[in-house]
């Protein structure tokens, strides 16, 4: 797996939501399974 990571063969999926005001809906969507991978809130 280390070789795959260093070669760029592994991809990380992230859902990014901007601003703290949008954090509650993003959290609810995460609990409902609407996201794929990590759910992040960018401040």
| Residue 2 included in any domain | no
**Percent of the chain with pLDDT strictly greater than 70:** 100
pLDDT recorded at residue 36: 82
Look at residue 42 in the predicted model and tell me its pLDDT.
94
Whole-angstrom distance, CA of residue 6 vs CA of residue 25: 35
Is residue 42 within 8 A of residue 16, CB to CB? The reply is yes
Convert the pLDDT of each residue in 19-37 to its tens digit: 999 999 999 999 999 988 8
6 inside domain: no
- Burial pattern 10-27, b for ≥16 Cβ within 10 A else e, equals eeeeeeebeeeeeeeebe
Whether residue 7 is predicted with pLDDT greater than 90 in this model: the reply is: yes
**Number of independent structural domains in the chain:** 1
Domain-located, residue 37: yes
Distance, in Å, from the CA atom of 1 to the CA atom of 7, rounded to the nearest integer, reads 10
User: In percent, how much of the chain has pLDDT > 90?
Assistant: 60
Domain boundaries, position 18:
11-42
For residue 15, is it within any domain? yes
Let me know if residue 3 belongs to a domain. no
Nearest-angstrom CA–CA distance, 24 and 43: 13
* pTM, 2 dp: 0.64
């Amino acid at each position: 797996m280390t070789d795959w990571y260093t070669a760029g063969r592994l991809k990380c999926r992230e859902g990014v939501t901007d601003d703290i005001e949008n954090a509650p809906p993003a959290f609810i969507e995460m609990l409902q399974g609407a996201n794929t991978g990590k759910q992040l809130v960018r401040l």
